[in-house]
């Protein structure tokens, strides 16, 4: 009896990534990640752009992290430039998990301001992971320009990114507290509150910040 080769298992798993059942696709991605093969990288990256199920996308990302960065990073960087928002977002998410700073040049000011909130959030998370030493201030400027953007989840993502930058973000937050835009002011104040007290919760921080702005104050008056 001839046993199936590893190549056969991998080929079957790659075909199964197109199955209609998400549980089958999930197992397929796990199988591919469990037996890394450079030939699998292209199909995995391609599937990331179209996979509708969140859990499967997470498994696809895990499978890609199991492969050598030299094989994955160039293809993922190419996906960041895709016209498809999901391709950009998932590629950035995967790059943040791989953490290879050779991908840093793809984090442009335009990407940090991407019109799609999910892409922008993924870009912010990837940026704070990939930023090389000495480029933190430049990144902080790009992130601070997005203060006040979007709803609760988008603002929380940006606050976390700014907090992760540490000292580099503080002057930008201080400037935003007295800026002309009330949404950006409130967001900056809430970010400061969250930085000082991570257990406070962002929702309460942003509501308190809105009240401060409405009364014409800033964070300094709260202390």
- 57/30 same-domain check: yes
Distance in angstroms (rounded) separating the CA atoms of residues 219 and 222: 5
156, 137 in Cβ contact below 8 A?
no
- 95/175 same-domain check: no
- Helix, strand, coil shares of the chain, percent, nearest 5, are 75, 0, 25
Which of these three, 72, 99, 126, is where a domain ends?
Answer: 99
pLDDT at residue 213 in the model: 74
Domain residues for the domain of 152 are: 107-223
177 contacts: CB under 8 Å, gap ≥ 6: 185, 188, 189, 192, 218, 219, 220
1, part of any domain:
no
What is the chain's pLDDT, residue by residue, as a tens digit (223 residues)? Answer: 333 445 677 889 999 999 999 999 999 999 999 999 999 999 999 999 999 999 999 999 999 999 999 999 999 999 999 999 999 999 999 999 999 999 999 999 999 999 999 999 999 999 999 999 999 999 999 999 999 999 999 999 999 999 999 999 999 999 998 888 889 999 999 999 889 888 777 776 776 677 777 666 554 444 4
Which of these three, 99, 129, 160, is where a domain ends?
Answer: 99
Phi and psi torsions of 160, nearest 5°: -60, -40
Per DSSP, the residues of 35-99 read: S--HHHHHHHHHHHTT---HHHHHHHHHHHHTS-HHHHHHHHHHHHT-SSHHHHHHHHHHHHHH-
- 50/121 same-domain check: no
Structural domains counted in the chain: 2
pLDDT at residue 219 in the model: 46
pLDDT at residue 3 in the model: 34
159, 176 in Cβ contact below 8 A?
no
Alpha-carbon separation of residue 201 from 33, 185, 204 (angstroms): 36, 18, 6
Helix (H, G, I), strand (E, B) or coil at 105: helix
Which of these three, 57, 77, 99, is where a domain ends?
Answer: 99
pTM, two decimals, is 0.87
pLDDT at residue 215 in the model: 65
- 202/123 same-domain check: yes
Please give the DSSP secondary-structure letter assigned to residue 142.
H
Distance in angstroms (rounded) separating the CA atoms of residues 112 and 3: 50
């Amino acid at each position: 009896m001839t046993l199936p080769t590893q190549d056969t298992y991998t080929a079957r798993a790659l075909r199964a990534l197109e199955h209609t059942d998400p549980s089958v696709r999930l197992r397929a991605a796990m199988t591919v990640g469990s037996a890394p093969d450079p030939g699998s990288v292209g199909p995995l990256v391609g599937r990331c752009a179209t996979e509708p199920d969140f859990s499967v996308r997470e498994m696809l990302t895990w499978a890609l992290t199991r492969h050598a960065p030299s094989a994955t990073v160039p293809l993922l960087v190419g996906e960041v430039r895709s016209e498809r928002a999901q391709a950009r977002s998932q590629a950035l998410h995967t790059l943040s998990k791989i953490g290879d700073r050779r991908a840093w040049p793809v984090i442009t000011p335009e990407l940090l301001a991407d019109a799609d909130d999910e892409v922008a959030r993924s870009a912010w998370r990837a940026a704070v992971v990939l930023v090389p030493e000495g480029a933190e201030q430049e990144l902080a400027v790009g992130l601070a320009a997005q203060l006040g953007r979007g709803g609760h989840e988008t603002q929380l993502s940006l606050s976390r990114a700014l907090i992760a930058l540490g000292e580099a973000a503080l002057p930008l937050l201080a400037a935003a507290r007295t800026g002309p835009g009330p949404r950006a002011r409130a967001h900056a104040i809430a970010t400061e509150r969250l930085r000082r007290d991570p257990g406070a919760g962002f929702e309460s921080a942003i509501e308190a910040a809105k009240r401060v702005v409405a009364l014409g104050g800033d964070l300094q008056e709260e202390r």
